[in-house]
A and B are shown apart, each in its own frame.
Chain A
Amino acid sequence: MDKNSSKLSYHIPDYINGNINDKEIISAIENEININPEFKKIYENFRNTFNFIHSANVSEPPDHYFNTILPRINSRIHTRSNLGFSLISFLRNIRSHWKYLIPALPVILILLIYRISFYKITNIADSSENFSNKNTENGVIMNKDMNDNSHVNESEDIVQRDNDQLNSEINTFNTLKSKKVKNNEQNKFYNIEENIIENSEETDFFSKDEEELNNLENEFLDLNEESQIEILNNLKNEKL
C-alpha cells in the first residue's frame, strides 16, 4: 500500500459513517476502492464491522436486575473480605504484618541468645547440682576398695608418666618450631607438627585444658539439630 492509500485508510471509518464533507477526499476514497484491491479489502472489513455494530441488538437487563443489584454488591464485598483470611491474601498483605513482626523479632532474638548462652554456660556446669540434689539421701558412699591407696597411686603414676610424655613432646615441638626451617623442609616440619598434635590428643589422659570437654560440648550444641541427633546416635553405639 502506498503512502496515499495509507493516508486515505484513516478516513475510511468517517467515510462509512458519512462524516466527511470534503468531496475531494470522498472521490479519492471511491477511486482508490475501485483501483486498489487491498484498499477495497480494508474498506469492506470496516464496513462489515460497522454494519454488525449497527445491526447488533443489545438486550436490556430485566427489571429485577436493578432490584437485586445492592444485595449482590454486598455479597461480593463480603466474599472479598472473607478472602482476607486465605493464605494468598495473607501473603499479599504481609507488608502490613511487619509492624507486628519487627517489634517481636528483637524480643525473640534476645530470648534466643539468652536461652542458648544461659543453657551452655549454666546447664552443663549445673548438671552436677541436679545430680547432687536428687541424690542427697544417698550421701557419700564409701567403696570397698577405698582404703587401697596403692592402686590409686599406681593410676596416678600412669597419669604422671603420660603427662611427662606429653610435656616432652610439646618441648620437642617447640624446639622444632624455634629452628628456622628452610622452605624445602617445610612440608616435613608440618607433618611432624601434625603428628605431635595427634599424639598429644592420644596422650591427654587428663585433658591438658580441663575446659576442653566443656568447649566440645558447646561446639556440639552449636551444630544443627540433625548433626546433634546423628552424634547422639553414634555416641549410643560408641564404646567409651
Chain B
Amino acid sequence: MKNKISKLVFLIILMFATYHLLNAQNDNLKKYQKLLKAKITEKLNISDSLADKYFEFFNQSRDGIKKLNKEKIEIIQSIEDNPESSDISTKIDRLLEIDQLIENSKKEYFNNLKTIFSPSQIAKSIVFQKNLRQFLRKEIKKKSNNRD
C-alpha cells in the first residue's frame, strides 16, 4: 500500500515538473507579447485598445502571407522536381499571382492601419517592426553563438 503511494507521489511530481516546464514557456510568451504591446503603446503614443487593433491587423496580414508563402514554396518545389510537367505554365502563372496576392495583402494591411493611425504613426510602426526583427535576430544569434 505504502509502496503504491510512493509510486503515485513520484508520478505526480513528474507531471508537475512537466506542467511547470510548459507553463514557464507560456509565461515567457505572454510576457513577450505584453512587452511588445507596452513598447508599441509607448512608441506610437496610443491607447491599449489601439495597440490591440494594431496587433490584430498585423497578425491577420502575417497569417495570410504565411499561407501564400507556403503555397509558393510547394509550387517552387514541384517546378524544381518536374520542370517538364504539362501544367508547368499554370504553376508559373500561379507563382506570379501569389506574389501579387502578397503585395495586395501588404497594401490591405497598410490600408487597415490608415483607419486607426496617422501616417507618422504608421511609419513609426514600420520602424518598430524592423527594429524588433533586428533585435531578435541579434539576440538569437548571440545565444546560438554562446551555445556553440
Binding site for B on A (CB under 8 A): 81, 84-85, 90, 93, 96-97, 100-101, 104, 108, 111-112, 115-116, 119, 123-129, 131-132, 134-135, 138, 140-146, 148-149, 151-152, 154-156, 158-159, 201, 204-207, 209-214, 216-217, 219-221, 223, 225, 227-232, 234-236, 238, 240
A85 touching B28 in the complex, CB below 8 Å, given contacts A154-B119, A155-B119: no
Binding site for A on B (CB under 8 A): 2-3, 6-7, 10-11, 14-15, 18, 21-22, 24-26, 28-29, 31-33, 35, 39, 43, 48-53, 55-63, 65-66, 69, 102, 106, 110, 114-123, 126, 128-137, 139-140, 143
Q: Flag if A211 contacts B50 (CB, 8 Å).
A: no
CA distance A111 to B7 in the complex (A): 21
CA distance A158 to B117 in the complex (A): 18
Other-chain residue from B49, B69, B106 in contact with A211 (beta carbon distance below 8 A): B69
A204 touching B140 in the complex, CB below 8 Å, given contacts A108-B14, A135-B53, A143-B118: no
Provide the residues of chain A in CB contact with B120, threshold 8 Å: 145, 151
CA distance A81 to B3 in the complex (A): 9
Q: Flag if A231 contacts B132 (CB, 8 Å).
A: no
Q: Flag if A210 contacts B62 (CB, 8 Å).
A: yes
Q: Flag if A206 contacts B122 (CB, 8 Å).
A: no
Other-chain residue from A104, A128, A140 in contact with B59 (beta carbon distance below 8 A): A128
A211 touching B65 in the complex, CB below 8 Å, given contacts A132-B56, A201-B134, A232-B31: yes
CA distance A234 to B67 in the complex (A): 32
A214 touching B62 in the complex, CB below 8 Å, given contacts A145-B118, A229-B28: yes
Q: Which residue of A lies closest to B10 (CB)?
A: A97
Provide the residues of chain B in CB contact with A115, threshold 8 Å: 22
Report A198 CB to chain B, min CB distance, Å.
Answer: 11
Q: Which residue of B lies closest to A204 (CB)?
A: B130
- Taking chain A's interface residues, is the majority helix, strand, or loop, or is none over half, making it mixed? helix
Q: Flag if A212 contacts B133 (CB, 8 Å).
A: yes
- A selection of 6 A-B contacts at a CB cut-off of 8 Å is A84-B3, A108-B15, A125-B62, A145-B119, A210-B65, A225-B28
CA distance A221 to B117 in the complex (A): 30
CA distance A84 to B44 in the complex (A): 64
Q: Which residue of A lies closest to B37 (CB)?
A: A131
Report A139 CB to chain B, min CB distance, Å.
Answer: 9
Report A106 CB to chain B, min CB distance, Å.
Answer: 12
Q: Flag if A125 contacts B63 (CB, 8 Å).
A: yes
Provide the residues of chain A in CB contact with B136, threshold 8 Å: 213, 216-217, 219-220, 231
